[in-house]
Amino acid sequence: MESWKKESFEWLKALAVGVVIVLVVRIFLFSNYVVEGASMQPTLQDGNKLVINKIGYQIGDIDRFDVIVFHANESEDYVKRVIGLPGDEVSYEDDQLYINGEYYEEPYLEEFRTEEGRLTGDFTLEEIPGGQIEVPEGQLFVLGDNRQESLDSRIIGFIDQDSVVGKVNLRYWPLNELDVRFYE
């Protein structure tokens, strides 16, 4: 009887350690996110399940064109693509992206560009809520890949870097769309 109690106690300890490890990973390192809506099509679809790296963006900087999840308000998180970093001047002319006066290709838009034609429309940051010429320090300029259906920085303005939950590292559902590359 004594060995049964001892073995049960060992199993409970192992289970408790396992739960603590899972909680630490879930709370501090990685999280999952389910895409809702069409704002990131064709890159991400409604219902896609993603793994969000919560520490990678804290250890290294957020890079231009990263796909991130951020707190849009107290009850909603959004997934969008980082276009402008602090200090960047962003504009669109003839549906072409210019950052600091340099043209950047957006290969992730090609599928929609061939179907829809003009996607983004012309603008400068001065026309964005906040009326800045450049992205302010501590802020990001984000856009959805489905520019005609996205609630993004063109409407809500710049987002605080502190509101970033993490960087999208993996789409794991549906399995046939498993992917870790979101720029091409």
Give a yes or no: residue 183 inside a domain.
no
Residue 81 is predicted with a pLDDT of 93
Q: Is there a domain that residue 127 lies in?
A: yes
- Answer yes or no: is 20 within a domain: no
The CATH number that applies at residue 151 is 2.10.109.10
The per-residue pLDDT for range 94-121, each reduced to its tens digit, is 888 899 989 998 887 877 665 556 667 7
- Would 86 be classed as within a structural domain? yes
Which position has the token pair 């959004």?
Answer: 78
In a domain, 130, yes or no: yes
Whether 184 maps to a domain, the answer reads no
d(CA 109, CA 44): 12
Looking at residues 123-127, what average pLDDT do you find?
Answer: 73
- Phi, psi of 70, deg, nearest 5: -140, 160
Active-site residues, by number, are 39, 80
Residue 11 lies in a domain: no
Count: domains in the chain: 1
Tokens of 44: 């991400």
Q: Note whether residue 106 is domain-resident.
A: yes
Mean pLDDT of the region 143-152: 85
**∠ CA 42-103-109, rounded to 5°:** 10
Structural domain containing residue 135: 31-177
- How high is the pLDDT of residue 59? 45
Q: According to the model, what pLDDT value does residue 86 have?
A: 92
Q: Whole-prediction pTM value?
A: 0.76
pLDDT tens digits along 38-74: 788 888 878 887 878 877 655 457 889 988 888 888 8
